Amino acid sequence: MAEFSIIDTYFNRRQNTAVDLGIGDDSALLLPPAGHQLVVCTDTLVAGRHFPLDTPAHAIGWKSVAVNLSDIAAMGATPHSILLGLSLPDAEPDWLQGFSDGLYACCDQYSVNLIGGDTTQSPHLNLTVTALGWVKNGQAVMRSGAQVDDLVVVSGSIGDAAFALQHLGHPLQKRLDYPTPRCELGALVRGLASSMIDISDGLVQDLGHILKASQVGAHIELNQLPIDPVLQALDPQVRWQYALAGGDDYELCFTISKDNYQHLLEQQPNVATTVIGRIQAETGLVFTHNGQTQALHLNGYQHFA
């Protein structure tokens, strides 16, 4: 199947009114809302590196969108559209249909348009998605605003996807294959949180980016980590490894004052949030368990391991 036949067959749906010009020309045209900044991110997924080789095409399509929308959410922004770069070994119709269905399922759930991209043949399956969103001028939530005595909060549960990767076929594999970008929560904490990041490479590594950018440290209470009962049954060192360094969670980690956190809870977010610690002036991460300091040596996902 030729490139343009692939595009017309699987990736050329009608755009909504928020897109001035989508697929079918050399570039897309968008008109940013007045008083807003454009938020842009991109992620590349490589078969065998970012997902198992036998992952269903539908799940790959969903995940390729979701991981980018998670980055948009981590800025407190509203997702708008995506661009897709797709490198395929073969133009296999059943695979393309499943992938397209998964991609559009995620797009539809979060009111996002596919507005362009590129397809080509390659020895290996590679996908690059660029996501675009909007945030009101000056309201983006960045990594550099954490303040001493802020609470450290995470959404959902952590460690599920890392556990699933080591136990393929377990019910938790849905968390690996179909991550949930926390777009609504990201918008709710805008104006309340002092800093935010999405957890893609493991909580320790990603929270570390906040601490470095904000020039602060944090105290984390291991008993407060939101962990699935399946992981809770494991040896503590094993479950902490999954929860703190496993990656692929795509939950949000943010810092927020105690008063602002109460305001957030009053808005009844659509996902549970858990206070796991507090920001401190002394740099570095301190872990405690039942009041006792724990010396943990953890590293998050390494892209060039």
pLDDT per residue as tens digits for the range 110-119? 999 998 888 8
Query: Given CA atoms 112, 116, 121, 124 in this order, what sign does their dihedral have?
Result: negative
Q: Look up tokens 């549970």; give the residue.
A: 272
As a whole number, mean pLDDT of residues 163-175 equals 95
**Residue whose entry in the numeric block shows the structure tokens 């454009």:** 38
3-state secondary structure of 210: helix
Say if residues 38 and 77 touch (Cβ distance below 8 Å): no
Binding residues, as ranges, are 26, 42-43, 50, 71, 117-118, 143, 198, 200-201, 248, 301
Give the torsion sign (CA, 287, 288, 289, 294): positive
Strand residue runs (E) in 98-192: 113-121, 126-136, 151-155
- Distance between CA atoms of residues 161 and 47, nearest Å: 17
221 phi-psi bin (left φ>0, alpha ψ -120 to 50, beta other)? beta
pLDDT at 53: 87
Task: Return phi, psi of residue 54, to 5°.
Answer: -95, 15
Token output for 21 = 């010009």
Residue type, 175: R
- Span 222-229, mean pLDDT? 96
pLDDT band at 263; cut points 50, 70, 90? very high
The mean predicted confidence, pLDDT, of the chain is 91
The residue ranges of DSSP E strands in 64-142, in sequence order, are 78-88, 113-121, 126-136
The pLDDT score that the predictor gives to residue 302 is: 47
% of the chain surpassing 90 pLDDT: 76
Read off the pLDDT of each residue in 184-204 and give the average, rounded to a whole number.
97
Residue 221 confidence class, pLDDT cut points 50, 70, 90? very high
pLDDT at 4 over 80: no
Domains along the chain with CATH numbers = 3-136 (3.30.1330.10), 150-293 (3.90.650.10)
45: nearest Cα among 85, 72, 5, 7: 85
What is the per-residue pLDDT across 13-36, written as a single tens digit (0 to 9) for each?
765 557 766 676 778 888 889 999
Q: CA–CA separation, 195 vs 76, rounded Å? A: 10
Count CB-CB contacts under 10 A for residue 170: 15
Structure tokens, 133: 């969103």
Segment 245-249 mean pLDDT: 92
Give per-residue pLDDT as tens, 196-220: 999 999 999 999 999 999 999 999 9
Taking each helix axis as running N to C, give the angle between helix 93-109 and helix 57-73, from 0 to 180 degrees, rounded to the nearest 10: 30
Residue type, 127: L
pLDDT at 304 over 50: no
Known binding residues for Mg(2+) are 26, 42-43, 71, 118, 198, 201
How far apart CA 252 and CA 48 sit, in angstroms, is: 25
Instruction: Report the C-alpha gap between 202 and 248 in whole angstroms.
Output: 7
Mean pLDDT of 150-168: 97
The pLDDT of residue 117: 87
pLDDT of res. 299: 59
Give the residue numbers of the binding site for substrate.
50, 248, 301
| Binding-site entries for ATP | 117-118, 143, 200
Cβ pair 287, 296 in contact under 8 A: yes
